[in-house]
Every structure is written in C-alpha cells, then in structure tokens.
Structure 1
Amino acid sequence: MTTTTTTTLTRAAGVAAVVGGLLFIGLQIKHPHVDATFATTTEFTVRESLKVLMAALSFVGITGMYLRQVRQAGVLGLIGYVLFGAGWLALMSVEVVGVSIIPSLAHTAPRYVNDVLAVANGGTATGDIGLFTTVNTVTGIAYLGGGLIFGIALFRANVLARWAAVLLSVAAVATIGTKMLPHVNERVFALPVGAAMVCLGYSLWRDQRTPAAQTAPNAVGSHLDPAGAR
C-alpha cells in the first residue's frame, strides 16, 4: 500500500510539472504590455490567476523530482531544491499580490502600480515602491540560481532525463542574459525553462511506470517457478 501511494504521488508530481511547464510556455504567447490600464482588465486577472497556478504546480513538480532522487542528488540537490523552490514560492506570492491587490490600486494609484509592474517585469521604478524591488531581486536570484544548481544536481543524479536537466541549467543561465540583450523580448527566455519542466515532469511520470510494468511478470514467474514447491 505504501509503495503504491508513493508511486501515485510521484506520478502526480510529474503531471504537475508538465502542466506547470505548459502554462509557463502558454502564458508567454501574445503577452500584452503590462501597466495600470491593463491591470483593470479581465485578461490581467485571468493571466495572474494562471501564473499563481503555474508556480504552485511547478513547486509541487520539483518537490516530486527531488524526493524521487534525494539520495542520489546529495547536498547539491538539497541546495538547488531549496533555492529553486523558494524562487517558485516567492513568484507565486508576487502573483497572488498581483491578482488580489494590484487591480484595486490601478484606479487610485496608477503611478505606483505602473512602477510595481515595471519592476516585476524587469524594468525600473521612477517612484518609491518600498521593499518590492528587493523582494523581486531576491526572487530572481533564487529562481535563476536554484534552476542552475538544481539542473546540475539532476544531471549528476542520473535518474531523470539528463538532457532535460542540462536544458534547465542552461535556460536559467540564459535568462540572466536578458539584461545584456535589451532588444530581445525577455519572455522568450521563459520558453526553454518551461520546456525543461515539461520534459523533466514527463520523465518523472514515466520513471514511475517502469517498476509497475516490471512487477507483474515477476510476480507471475514466482508462482510458476518450480523452486517454489520446495
């Protein structure tokens, strides 16, 4: 019973990673310019709600990946998981603020909202937005640094698809390049991270199918083995 439950939960984590990655990719498609005017629209609310779901599912997904190979990943895997997980949780918190607070401030404090949204999307603020700039910076460091280290740990553990682990690490490093390529839409750099999450999630889900597929023939063989009569 315990083995079946663990397998089911791990497969569910794989599905969560796949869905989270697909949402991450899909949300970048035709993403409009974000400002106080857009924050009052239904589309903004829908997109922010989906981002909250995306971050939550991604966190569940990487948790399943880590627990599946906790021994093989070692200390490096723990560090990568903590950082990457903190990045996703912080991102989810920011999006919760976005969907629950920002729309109500868009009419009364549009300049403040514009500054917050600008910083959240990689820009700079012209006014005082408190500690949000610091929070956003820490979130970025945890997300990018965690993605790099977690990908390396997954590659070394050699349990899930190693090429997908490499893609995650490379994608995390490439995201840093958005500051050096001002003419390139930064949302493009989210696509490989989303693809890596999809592939790692599928690898986790598939990994949990193999033991189950191998158990049945072995169980039948044990009953047919003449040695069992002794």
Structure 2
Amino acid sequence: MSITTTKLTGAAGVCAVAAGLLFIGVQINHPHLDVAFVTTTEWTVRQTLKVVMAALSLIGITGMYLRQVKQTGVLGLLAYVLFGAGYLIIMSIEVVGAVVLPSIAHSAPGYVSDVLAVATGGHATGDIGLMQALSLVSGITYLAGGLTFGIALFRANVLARWPAALLAGGTVATIAIPLLPQINERLFALPTGVALVGLGYSLWREQRTAAGRSLLNVTSSPLDPAGAK
C-alpha cells in the first residue's frame, strides 16, 4: 500500500472523529473528582482514554491545518500553534493524572485534592508547584487556540463551516463553567466533541472526493485524444 498525502490527511480526519467521540464518551456518568476516585480502576481507564483523545485531537487538527495552509494564512498558523500547544499540555496533564496522582494519593492526599480542584476550575488551598501554572497555560492555549482555529477554518471555507463555528463557540463557552455551578461542567465538552467529529468527517470526506477525482483522471487519461498523439 502506497502512502500518499491524501491518505494521511484522510487518516487525520478519522483521528479527529475518534477524538471527538472519546471526548464526549469520557464525560458520560463521570464520577465526582476526589482522592478516593483517583485510586480506582475507572480513574485509570478514563485518564488513559483522555490521553488517547488528546493525542488523536493533535493529529486531527494537524491534518486540518496542513490541508488548508494557504487558505488560513498567518491566522491559521497562529491558531494551530496555540491549539496544538493546548492539546500537548492537556495530554501531559492527563498523563500526570493517570500515572502520578494514583501513586501519591495515600501519601499526599492534600496535594492530589488541590490538583483536582484546580483541574475543575477551583482553587488550591496548598502549594501544588508548577501544576498551577501548567493548568493556567493549558486553559489559555485551549481557549485562545480553539477560538482562533475555529475562526481560521470558518474563513478558509474548505471544510464544513458549521463545526468550525461550533469549535470556536464551544471552546470559549468553557469560560462560563465557574459562573454556572448549577450546570454540570461535563456538558461544556459536548460542543467541542461534536465539532471535532464534524470537522474530522468533513476532512475525511473531502479527501475521499479528491482521491476519487484523481483516480478518475488517471483512468480516463488514455482516452484523451491529445495523449494519443
């Protein structure tokens, strides 16, 4: 099997769809975050899925950006760098959550509790070191990256525009989580998850269409009178 740009870009679209579905799936019946939950098998499974989700998202947005580098211009580059950095940091935080927190939950429950509080938009009562700054940078890059990346994709008008708009709006909407404590914060993940699914499917379909046109051109070229000379 030959590896082509079209196939790689289409695969990136599939990765984005998978990432969106995982992002939605891990929110379903998500237990309350506390020290006791960190030591369970369910925590490990959910954290592992979040790491996979972040990695697939990064692959997906990379494919989206490379497909429309010229159309998105400087805004697209800036947006991709921000959004990509956001997902890299998210993946790092989720790895820490999956590997480190369970191992220190019994010896340093206060630290684990503070990390969980910050992760859900709360405040730490003690010192959690650079995890505080990492969480802040993660939020900034995710919000700014999601907004600008959605706008860049919408303006490029290569992929479907509705999920691009939903991505921009969905990521920014997470700002309201601390202001709306009566609403389950997990619901704010749904727009971004749906947006990734929509953009990924649009990228995959667009690449299949392009591949079909290329195949049609190749098979029809011997019948071209100009080529028979």
Assess, with a 3 A threshold, how the Cα gap between structure 1 residues 174 and 223 changes in structure 2: closer, same or farther: same
Q: Measure the CA separation in 1 of the matches of 2:142 and 2:78.
A: 12
> What is the CA distance between 1:218 and its match in structure 2?
2.6
Which segment is superposed worse, 42-51 or 216-225? 216-225
Alignment partner of 2:158: what SS?
coil
- Which digits, 9 at most, give the CA deviation of each residue in 1:150-177, with x for residues without a partner? 0000011111111110010010121111
Q: Measure the CA separation in 2 of the matches of 1:215 and 1:62.
A: 24
Letter in 1 for 2:172: V
Q: Measure the CA separation in 2 of the matches of 1:71 and 1:86.
A: 21
Q: Measure the CA separation in 2 of the matches of 1:132 and 1:227.
A: 66
Matched residue, 2:213: 214
Letter in 2 for 1:98: G
Q: Measure the CA separation in 1 of the matches of 2:195 and 2:228.
A: 50
Matched residue, 1:49: 48
- Which digits, 9 at most, give the CA deviation of each residue in 1:128-148, with x for residues without a partner? 111222211110010011000
Give me the identity figure in percent: 67
Letter in 2 for 1:191: L
Letter in 2 for 1:71: K
Q: Measure the CA separation in 2 of the matches of 1:112 and 1:57.
A: 30
> What is the CA distance between 1:224 and its match in structure 2?
2.0
Matched residue, 1:159: 158
Matched residue, 1:223: 222
In the alignment of these two chains, the number of paired residues is 229
Matched residue, 1:106: 105
1:1-230 to 2 correspondence within 5 Å?
Answer: 5-230=4-229
> What is the CA distance between 1:121 and its match in structure 2?
1.6
Which segment is superposed worse, 111-120 or 123-132? 123-132
Letter in 2 for 1:123: G
Q: Measure the CA separation in 2 of the matches of 1:169 and 1:7.
A: 26
Alignment partner of 2:4: what SS?
helix
Letter in 1 for 2:5: T
Assess, with a 3 A threshold, how the Cα gap between structure 1 residues 222 and 178 changes in structure 2: closer, same or farther: same
> Can you give the 5+ residue segments of structure 1 that lack an aligned partner in the other structure?
none
> What is the CA distance between 1:194 and its match in structure 2?
0.5
- Which digits, 9 at most, give the CA deviation of each residue in 1:101-124, with x for residues without a partner? 100111111111111111112111
Q: Could you state the TM-score of these two structures normalised by the residue count of structure 2?
A: 0.96
Q: Measure the CA separation in 2 of the matches of 1:18 and 1:200.
A: 8
> What is the CA distance between 1:209 and its match in structure 2?
0.5
Q: Measure the CA separation in 2 of the matches of 1:11 and 1:154.
A: 17
Q: Measure the CA separation in 2 of the matches of 1:45 and 1:73.
A: 38
Q: Measure the CA separation in 2 of the matches of 1:126 and 1:93.
A: 23
Letter in 2 for 1:27: V
> What is the CA distance between 1:149 and its match in structure 2?
0.2
> What is the CA distance between 1:5 and its match in structure 2?
1.4
> What is the CA distance between 1:222 and its match in structure 2?
2.4
- Which digits, 9 at most, give the CA deviation of each residue in 1:22-48, with x for residues without a partner? 000000000001111111100001111
Q: Measure the CA separation in 2 of the matches of 1:159 and 1:199.
A: 13
